[in-house]
Amino acid sequence: MGKLANLSCLGCLKRSEIFNSLIESELEMIDCHRVSVNYSAGEILFKQGTPCYNFTCITSGMVKLYIEHDDHHKTIVGLVRPVDYIFVPGAYVDQRHHFTAVACEPTTACLIDTHIFRDLVRLNPQFANDFITKLSNQAIALLDRISGFSHKHIFGRMAETLLYLANHIYKSNIFDLTLSRQDLADLSDMTKESAIRVLKKFKDDGIIRLESNHIEIINTTMLESVSRTG
């Protein structure tokens, strides 16, 4: 557990902004029903199909969320970085996880009982409102995902993935990837061989700099253009 997050939710500097509307007593409710856990890279936080008891708030590290198809295929539907919590749609539907969450790096997370969320939605209208906004954003992200997958070629899809990583995950055009080539492929709906070939093409074309896991986007305009035109 990170030093900044260990005492109580009330003074926590690693608190997701979803909790901003909560009053002191409500934060205490959460505080009484949470645990903080450390995960090593590669460890599963929860697995698709299992019952869901918690909302998971990532306080350090990074987590990948993926849908498992058959044995060897998966699709990464999102990456979660601090400070954000993992949206668990099953909590309000069938009490099952609809995707698997795995740590990509050493990660710490606060687990909060789903019942507390339900209670807070009832108690605090502003919290309910913020929560709906969050769910809506996730739905839009999924729609964008579907939009990107259909009728776009591998170059366009990988370009989209790189822009997503730069703009939303690492928040810089230079970053050290903590994802494998397979992960990049699972994010872009292609095989790892194709992912490798596309990255090489981008490198040869001078769109990115690439040395093992160090990536630098040199020509953002070009990458955006590729992402659009496919």
Partner DNA sequence: CAGATGGATTGATCTATATCAGTGCATATT
Partner DNA sequence: AATATGCACTGATATAGATCAATCCATCTG
Point out which residues bind a copy of itself (CB under 8 A): 67, 69-70, 73, 75, 77, 87, 89-93, 98-99, 118, 121-123, 125-126, 128-129, 131-133, 135-140, 142-143, 145-147, 149-152, 189
Q: Does residue 181 bind DNA (CB under 7 A)? A: yes
Among DNA, a copy of itself, none, the one that 182 touches (CB under a kind-dependent 5 to 8 A) is DNA
Which residue, among 143, 169, 146, has the nearest Cα to 84 in the 3D structure? 169
Binding-site string for DNA from residue 141 to residue 160, where x marks contact by CB under 7 A and - marks none: ------------xxx-----
Q: Does 100 bind DNA (CB under 7 A)?
A: no
> Residue 166 gets which letter from DSSP?
I
User: By C-beta, is 104 or 189 nearer to a copy of itself?
Assistant: 189
What CA–CA distances, in Å, run from 8 to 114, 139, 192?
A: 18, 31, 43
The residue from 81, 96, 134, 197 that contacts DNA (CB under 7 A) is: 197
Q: How far is the CB of 202 from DNA (least distance, A)?
A: 12
Listed as own residue / partner, the contacts of 149-157 with beta carbons closer than 8 Å and 24 or more positions apart are 149/189, 151/230, 152/230, 153/230, 154/188, 154/190, 154/194, 154/198, 155/198, 155/201, 155/226, 155/230, 156/226, 156/227, 156/228, 156/229, 156/230, 157/188, 157/189, 157/190
Summarize as ranges the residues that interact with DNA (CB under 7 A).
Answer: 153-155, 180-182, 189-194, 196-197, 199-200, 212-213
